Amino acid sequence: MTDTTPPLVLVHGNPENAAVWGPLLAELGRVDAITLSPPGFGVPLPAAFDASVAGYRDWLIARLETFDRPVDLVGHDWGGAHVVQVAMTRPDLLNSWASDALGLYAPDYVWHRRAQVWQQEGVGEQSVEALFCGSLEERLSVIAELGMTGPTAVRVAAGFDGEMARAVLSLLRSAVQPVMADAGRDLAKAAQRPGLALLALEDHAAPSGTVAQHRAAAEAAGAEIAELAVGHWWPVQDPRPVAAALTAFWARTRPL
């Protein structure tokens, strides 16, 4: 019998590397999954790479074009934003998509405090230098302040470097409003493929939007909504509810 299971592809966000997916993949039991790291985030940042909202969209599209069939695409944080961009522009590459960052595309989304710092010349450079370019002990302190602890946090902190700092500044400065709100006008195009909005109800810092913004954007994208009692770092700290939601979603979207 032919296996109809689509390839599973996961894209992480900022300030992360592919290590964040380990606990979720263990819960899913998907040893075949492919993790993609955006340039600058755990992998080298080529000098000529366009580290912008559009540049990362085009990077992800190019990677997905190498697959011989549509994939199940999952994104966390900025990775979730890249996933939505693909769903809006190249739905033919997807069997399904899931994102925890739909709120970024709400018309009234306001960037969180740290992002607003990164979007400013001078103070942004000072911020990323302090966050990403210190000793390992200092980087571990940063990741703990952000709310992630444990062995995976050590692997994530070890990936902080100057290339990530440059990528963060370039990406966030390309996303100054109304860039994200304007992109969100095309959310209805994402409805061409089954979508799942992963709504982390305990993400109190709400870097990707409020609960209301997530719900509104999900409805505009025609996506199912999974309201989950998890925080921002759910791939690491509490993957079980998300794994259950994804598994049930995929069971409904698997091709015949």
Residue 67: give its domain's CATH number: 3.40.50.1820
Residue 36's pLDDT band (boundaries 50, 70, 90)? very high
In contact, 52 and 81? CB cutoff 8 Å = no
Count of beta carbons in the 10 Å neighbourhood of residue 151: 11
Q: Is the pLDDT of residue 83 over 70?
A: yes
The verdict on residue 194 lying in a domain is yes
Structure confidence by residue, pLDDT tens digits, 135-168: 999 999 999 998 888 899 999 999 999 999 999 9
Euclidean distance between CA atoms 8 and 135, whole angstroms:
35
Q: What percent of the chain has pLDDT over 70?
A: 99
Residue span of the structural domain in which 192 resides: 8-113+178-253
Q: Is the pLDDT of residue 233 over 70?
A: yes
Q: In the 3-class helix/strand/coil scheme, how is 45-104 assigned residue by residue? A: CCCCCCCCHHHHHHHHHHHHCCCCCCEEEEECCHHHHHHHHHHHHCHHHEEEEEECCHHH
The verdict on residue 52 lying in a domain is yes
The verdict on residue 158 lying in a domain is no
The verdict on residue 135 lying in a domain is no
The verdict on residue 146 lying in a domain is no
The verdict on residue 119 lying in a domain is no
More confident residue, 132 or 256: 132
Euclidean distance between CA atoms 153 and 185, whole angstroms:
36
Q: What percent of the chain has pLDDT over 90?
A: 93
Nearest Cα neighbor of 244 from 230, 233, 232 is 230
The verdict on residue 208 lying in a domain is yes
Tally the domains of the chain: 1
Read off the pTM: 0.96
Residue 207's pLDDT band (boundaries 50, 70, 90)? confident
Q: Is the pLDDT of residue 256 over 70?
A: no
List, as one string, the DSSP characters of 151-185.
Answer: HHHHHHHHT--HHHHHHHHHHHHHTTTTHHHHHGG
Q: Which of 46-60, 153-167, 182-196, 200-214 has the lowest mean pLDDT?
A: 200-214
Sign of CA dihedral 65, 37, 222, 247: positive
User: Six-digit token pair at 133?
Assistant: 């370019």
Euclidean distance between CA atoms 57 and 59, whole angstroms:
5
